[in-house]
């Protein structure tokens, strides 16, 4: 049994059960989701668009919850809350944390799809 750093193994097992043959597609979709949202976050931040940041963080929070990426979920929630309060002062740091957490997730995902 592999020990995941960022994903909840029991959630992954449940998803495997739910999705069946489409499990790998889901993992791939999550990867794309993360990459799309992270670049969106950066883009919106550069434009100083609070609402854009909030939406992207909200989406990433949702899909991360689905795959049991609970730390990523927490990071996104914090960013979403700040953006909602129109405070982007610590956003660059938060997005950097999100990006590095995605690296951890990515290595977990590689383990999962290799099996």
Partner 1 sequence: MLTVLVADDTSTDRMILESLVRQLGYITVPASNGLEAIAFYQQYQPDIVLMDVLMPEMDGLEAARSIKKLAGENFVPILFLTSLSDTESLVACLDAGGDDFIPKPYNKPILQAKINAFGRMRELQTTLLQQRDQIRLNNNTLLQEQAVAKKVFDNVAGKGCLDDPNIRFHLSSQAIFNGDVLVAAHRPNGNLMLLLGDFTGHGLPAAIGSMPLATAFYGMVSKGFSLQDILREINHKLKTLLPPGIFCCASLLEVDYQVQQVKVWNGGLPSGVLYRGVSGEVELLSSQSLPLGIMGNDRLNSQCRYFDISATDRIYLWTDGIHEARSFDGEMFGEARLLEVFRHGSDVKANQIFDRILEAVHEHVGSDVFDDDLSLVEISLASPPEPTDDQDVGARGDQGLIEWSMSFEIKPPTFLHFDPLPLLMTVISDVPGLRGKSAQVYTVLAELYSNALEHGLLQLDSSLKNDAEGFAEYYRLRKRRLEQLTEGFIRFTLAHSVNGDEGVLRLTLEDSGEGFDHHNKLRETGEKDFSGRGIALVTTLCASLTYEGNGNIVKAVFTWKD
- The residue ranges that bind partner 1 (CB under 8 A) are 15, 18-20, 22, 25-26, 29-30, 32-33, 55, 58-59, 61-63, 65-67
Q: Return the structure tokens found at 105.
A: 């997730």
Q: Tell me how far, at minimum, the Cβ of 16 lies from partner 1, in Å.
A: 11
**Taking a C-beta distance cutoff of 8 angstroms, is the pair 74, 97 a contact?**
no
Q: Tell me how far, at minimum, the Cβ of 59 lies from partner 1, in Å.
A: 5
Rounded Cα distance between 59 and 51, Å, is 12
Spatial CA neighbour of 12 closest among 111, 99, 103: 111
For partner 1, the closer CB: 32 or 96: 32
For partner 1, the closer CB: 27 or 91: 27
């Amino acid at each position: 049994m592999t020990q995941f750093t960022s994903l909840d193994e029991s959630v992954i097992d449940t998803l495997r059960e739910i999705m069946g043959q489409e499990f790998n597609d889901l993992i791939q979709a999550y990867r794309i989701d993360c990459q799309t949202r992270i670049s969106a976050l950066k883009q919106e931040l550069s434009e100083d668009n609070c609402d854009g940041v909030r939406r992207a963080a909200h989406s990433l929070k949702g899909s991360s919850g689905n795959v049991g990426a609970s730390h990523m979920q927490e990071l996104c929630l914090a960013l979403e809350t700040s953006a909602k309060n129109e405070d982007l002062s610590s956003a660059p740091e938060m997005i950097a944390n999100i990006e590095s957490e995605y690296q951890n997730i990515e290595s977990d995902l590689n383990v999962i799809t290799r099996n």
